[in-house]
Amino acid sequence: MSAAPAGPGGGTRPRGAAEDAVADAGPGEAGTDRAGSSARAAAGGAPLAGPAQAPPGRRSRPTRPDPAHGDPYGRGAAAQAAAPVSPFARLAPPEASRGNALHAGAWWLWALGLATAASRTTNPLLLGLIVGVAGYVVAARRTAAPWARSYGAFIKLGLVVVGLRLVFSALLGSPIPGSHLLVTLPELPLPSWAQGIRLGGRVTAEQLVFAFYDGAKLAALLICIGAANALANPARLLKSLPAALYEAGVAVVVAMTFAPNMVADVVRLRTARRLRGRPTGGVKAVLQIGLPVLEGALERSVAVAASMDARGYGRTAQVPPLVRHTTNVLTLGGLLGMCAGTYGLLAAQGAGYGMPVLGIGLLLALAGLRLGGRRSVRTRYRPDRWGARAWLVSASGAAVAALTIRFAGLDPDAMAPGVVPLTAPGLPLWPAAAVLIGLLPAVVAPVPPKESLQ
């Protein structure tokens, strides 16, 4: 036993066996866990916090990868930081922010593609698949904004449309002949000038199935438009419009946001009445809720008008008369061409000329809008960019529309099943696979932040 240096009081004190063991271990072993733990155990002190000790005769394993222990589980922290990123990780959608948010126009093009596909078929299985694709994308990529909450209202509106179509078919009759009689309603006699119309009479299964197919198509169109309302920011869509359409775009955006804001106001007022213990159903409750809703809509309209007036809305620059007349001709001609082309695409026999006429009309309209933009004196602050993800989203909707139109010409019986004779519709595989392309936005579109989903 050797002597150890004394404390502040001077002199020397005898050094214990534990300290001798630490000193004999040398500089290379004094910092190890085995020397330190044996010294503390011999000294009778409490072990310091550190890694758990292995039982005698068993080699201890490090609790985390460390180059000092040979890194048995992989590379060190520096090597892991410098590891190459997988190509699949780079393609993963990022979290949505102000800089990388998807363009609002891409959502509308995608939804219009699904709506075009729904207009080309009356097969209830394909229509249900289109509605399911739209609903899945909305559930995966919508936020908690007021306009995003209107999707449920569009679904309910679609169900109401189907119900009304069935009721009108039963009451007013249908030209579809049928042999499966369900019920016979009392028929009211009508004057001679109302020939072709009847009230009541025979109700067959064929006419109700035909009415259901027709109503389901209209409901699918409404739900696709509701998906665009739930995903696209109306204010950002207004900023992306051409300068020549800014005045008309404001009216369209206000009309588009009326229904979502009204739904949000109704939900807010019903929640407030429920918290106060007041009934939320019945005619009296509806009347009491309707007045505050209309008052809130009026206040928002006045606030928007004052804000637009303060920002100089409606001011235009002077342009030569020739440019103004050329703009009007190009814009009107382009819009008429687009209407004729769209009608050709939606009609049964106009698919051949519909696409060329639509393309020519679109080019004329773009030229007219380009010239008309000279009258606008407004500027754009931080305009939205149309990136690769916006191209993918809009292209998925266009692909669904194009393939559905193609399959409608190849196999019209599968796309529009008949009701006489009454048979169960089948699901055509290739059109169904084309509709599934519409799920691409749920994979490539930026993911909304978690706080916006709550």
Per-residue pLDDT, averaged over 52-71, amounts to 47
The DSSP result for 135-201, as a single string, is HHHHHHH--SSGGGGGHHHHHHHHHHHHHHHHHHHHHH--S---S-EEEEEEEEP--GGGTT--EEE
Lowest-confidence segment of 218-222, 284-288, 372-376 by average pLDDT: 372-376
Angle ∠(22,9,40) on CA atoms, nearest 5: 25
One-letter identity of residue 112: L
pLDDT at site 89 = 56
Alpha-carbon gap, residue 177 to 431, rounded angstroms? 29
pLDDT at site 448 = 81
Yes or no: say if 72 and 65 are a contact pair by the CB < 8 Å rule: yes
Yes or no: say if 114 and 223 are a contact pair by the CB < 8 Å rule: no
Most confident of 126-130, 252-256, 264-268: 126-130
Per-residue pLDDT, averaged over 432-440, amounts to 94
202 three-class SS: strand
Q: Is the pLDDT of residue 318 over 50?
A: yes
Side-chain half-sphere of 291: how many Cα atoms within 13 Å? 5
Yes or no: say if 261 and 300 are a contact pair by the CB < 8 Å rule: yes
Most confident of 54-58, 150-154, 303-307: 150-154
Helix (H) or strand (E) holding 204: strand 199-204
- CA 201 vs CA 173, 182, 186, 226: distances in Å: 7, 11, 6, 37
Its pTM stands at 0.63
300: left (phi over 0), alpha (psi -120 to 50) or beta: alpha
pLDDT per position as a tens digit, 64-79 = 444 444 444 444 444 4
Distance, CA of 417 to chain centre: 31
Sort strands 181-188 and 12-14 into parallel, antiparallel or unpaired. unpaired
- CA 442 vs CA 89, 231, 412: distances in Å: 16, 12, 30
Local confidence band at 17 (pLDDT 50, 70, 90 cut-offs): very low
Yes or no: say if 94 and 86 are a contact pair by the CB < 8 Å rule: no
Lowest-confidence segment of 75-79, 189-193, 381-385, 395-399 by average pLDDT: 75-79
Q: Token digits for 21?
A: 């063991």
Phi, psi of 182 (to 5 degrees): -100, -50
pLDDT at site 217 = 93
pLDDT at site 81 = 46
What is the rounded average pLDDT for all residues in the chain?
Answer: 74
Q: Token digits for 264?
A: 């949000």
The residues, ordered by sequence, that sit 6+ positions from 36 with a Cβ below 8 Å of its Cβ are: 22, 30, 48
Q: Is the pLDDT of residue 395 over 90?
A: yes
Local confidence band at 237 (pLDDT 50, 70, 90 cut-offs): confident
pLDDT at site 314 = 61
Local confidence band at 233 (pLDDT 50, 70, 90 cut-offs): confident
Tell me, what DSSP letter sits at residue 8? T
Cβ count near 172 (within 10 Å): 12
Alpha-carbon gap, residue 28 to 67, rounded angstroms? 17
Greater pLDDT, 316 or 80: 316
pLDDT at site 145 = 77
Distance, CA of 213 to chain centre: 27
Alpha-carbon gap, residue 51 to 59, rounded angstroms? 13
447 three-class SS: strand
pLDDT at site 161 = 93
Helix (H) or strand (E) holding 3: strand 3-5
Most confident of 14-18, 38-42, 187-191: 187-191
